[in-house]
Amino acid sequence: MTRLSETDIIKYILKIQLNFENAYRFNSDFERGLLIESWLDILGKYPKEVCDTAVNNALSKAKFAPRLGDITEEIKFILNAKNKTDEELWSELEEIKYRVYEISRYLSYQQHYANAMLKLNKIYNDLSEELKTYLVNVSGMIAFSELSAEQLPFEKNRFFKNISSIRKRNEERIAAQTFMENANKKLIDNKDKK
């Protein structure tokens, strides 16, 4: 994964200017620098390869000069293409249900407890982030595995009702973490310059 640089942002803006003659005209170097800085702040959290593709996709669809929002929409589309659908996530949950149930039965035996917990932690850690958030922890995963056949359809409805808000919460958490990392990096860079 290559990090995005200021030079990459300048290339994106130039590409748009070349394709749309009235796009991004600057009255001063300050305006130009501010535009580049804002694009770098927003796009800097994504891999360069994804941004390159997103800019080209936005250009190929655009009737007017693409704005930063158009490019971030393309980025989200590209990144979400590899994400599992709601149905795939539910299938993943159903797939682990019986295995988790069988392993969790060994938690009652002191001599098997540590080994069973290792296996359960491995299963939980291998789940997608959405499922980890949904189940909360290993105990939640065990509780899910103990649902009866009669309870499962109700849980499925609850899952489909909540999964979109879980995804949104995860995206917001990642965005906040990235923002804080970038802010800390800028602070460190500014201290080093002084």
Per-residue burial over 155-174, b = 16 or more CB atoms within 10 Å of its CB, e = otherwise: eeeebeeebeebbeeeeeee
Name the token pair of 105.
């039965």
Check pLDDT > 80 for residue 59: yes
Give Cβ neighbours of residue 169 (< 8 Å, ≥ 6 apart).
133
pLDDT in tens, 161-174: 988 888 888 778 87
Check pLDDT > 90 for residue 6: no
3-state helix, strand, coil in the chain (%, to 5): 80, 0, 20
pLDDT in tens, 76-106: 888 877 777 888 889 989 999 999 999 999 9
pLDDT-based confidence at residue 154 (cuts at 50, 70, 90): very high
Q: Is 71 exposed, middle or buried (0-12, 13-18, 19+ CB in 10 A)?
A: buried
User: What pLDDT score was predicted for residue 151?
Assistant: 93
User: What pLDDT score was predicted for residue 102?
Assistant: 94
Q: Percentage of residues in the chain with pLDDT exceeding 70? A: 94
User: What pLDDT score was predicted for residue 139?
Assistant: 93
- Total length of the chain: 194
* Of the candidate ranges 28-32, 118-122, 148-152, the one whose mean pLDDT is the lowest: 28-32
Domains in the chain: ranges and CATH: 6-82 (1.10.8), 86-172 (no CATH)
For residues 192 and 74, which has the higher predicted lDDT (pLDDT)?
74
The residue-averaged pLDDT of 41-47 equals 85
- Cα–Cα distance, 54 to 69 (Å, whole number): 11
pLDDT-based confidence at residue 189 (cuts at 50, 70, 90): low
For residues 179 and 168, which has the higher predicted lDDT (pLDDT)?
168
Check pLDDT > 90 for residue 186: no
